[in-house]
Amino acid sequence: MPYLGDYIGHLLSEVTNARVQADLESVRIAEIYASHPLLRNMPVPHFRLPKVDLDVPVAISDMKSAEDPEATGRVLTNIRESFPRVLAIQAKKAQIEMKDDEKIRIEKELDRRILALKKEPVILKADLFSAAERVEAAKRLSITTITDDFISAAAKILEPRLKKEAGGAERLQKLKTDLKKAAFMEFSKFLHENTRLDVSMTSSELKEIGRESDPGSIMVKIHLSISEEAFEWSVVDSEGEVRELLVPE
């Protein structure tokens, strides 16, 4: 069963091949025009594919993760340990001095949230859940979701005090904005191979899934807008040296 990314890649490859076939046909027609006394004075037809829209129905049948529960737990632990350091750096840049009691409360809140993530049932027993349930769990365990969740927890603790200070609200907003960028970059270092989605896309498979109303599969329609950007060979003669370059036309 193919992965979704591979399937879309093959579709793009087929569209590229269509352009190649059109160019080969243009060359054949050009040869005919060149040998005809009247046609040789007319422009040679040349068709392009400026934009191709595809609506592709697929069924997401399974989700393959390269991470086992132990590896996922290590990633979550690394995220938990690195966030306070990133928070301290960004708080200093935003001219926010965190109080000791605020730091303690933030640490406890982070521990609570990371523990809940580690106990996520889908991590512990992925085979017992459908593809739809695993997709939803992947959203909860995504770097973006965890980053937003940690920032929200820290901001909620700092906000009551900062709202009473002059310019505190503006400094808190700056902290949240800068912290999101910095934390996301930091957490991304802990990522490994992405989760892959198995898909069914043939007519017979989709009809079968539709008849059975398989709860383990997710039916989706992917809309692809493919724009053409061609390249051409350019010969550059620089100081007697001839070089061939592939440049946008």
Q: Residue 183's closest CA among 138, 158, 151?
A: 151
How confident is the model over 133-159, as pLDDT tens digits?
A: 666 776 777 888 889 999 999 999 999
**What is the mean predicted confidence (pLDDT) over 90-96?**
93
Higher pLDDT, 204 or 224: 224
Residue 128 is given by DSSP the state G
Q: How far is CA 174 from CA 47, 154, 167, 205, in A?
A: 51, 13, 11, 51
CB 227 within 8 A of CB 50: yes
| Residues 87-96: contacts with CB under 8 Å, at least 24 apart | 87/154, 87/179, 87/183, 89/182, 90/175, 90/178, 90/179, 90/182, 91/175, 93/178, 94/171, 94/172, 94/174, 94/175, 94/178, 95/171, 96/158, 96/162, 96/171, 96/172, 96/175
pLDDT digits (tens, 9 = 90+) for 234-248: 666 666 666 676 667
C-alpha of 18 from chain center: 27
- Read off the pLDDT of residues 206-233 as tens digits, 9 standing for 90 and up: 777 666 655 556 778 888 888 887 777 7
Q: Which of 8-17, 89-98, 218-227 has the highest mean pLDDT?
A: 89-98
Say whether pLDDT at 175 is over 70. yes
In which band, very low, low, confident or very high, does the pLDDT at 68 lie, cut at 50, 70 and 90? Answer: low
Q: How far apart are CA 145 and CA 147, in angstroms?
A: 5
Name residue 25's amino acid: E
Q: Which pLDDT value is given to residue 173?
A: 93
Q: Hey, what amino acid is at 207?
A: K
Q: Average the pLDDT over 72-89 and give the result.
A: 89
Chain segment 15-58, per-residue pLDDT in tens: 888 888 888 999 999 999 999 999 999 999 887 778 889 888 88
Q: Within 10 Å of residue 165's Cβ, how many Cβ atoms?
A: 11
* DSSP codes of every residue in 36-56: STTGGGSPPP----SEEEEEE
* pLDDT attached to residue 229: 77
Q: Does the structure show a pLDDT above 70 at 193?
A: no
Task: Quote the pLDDT of residue 140.
Answer: 76
Q: Give me the residues paired with residue 243 across strands.
A: 236
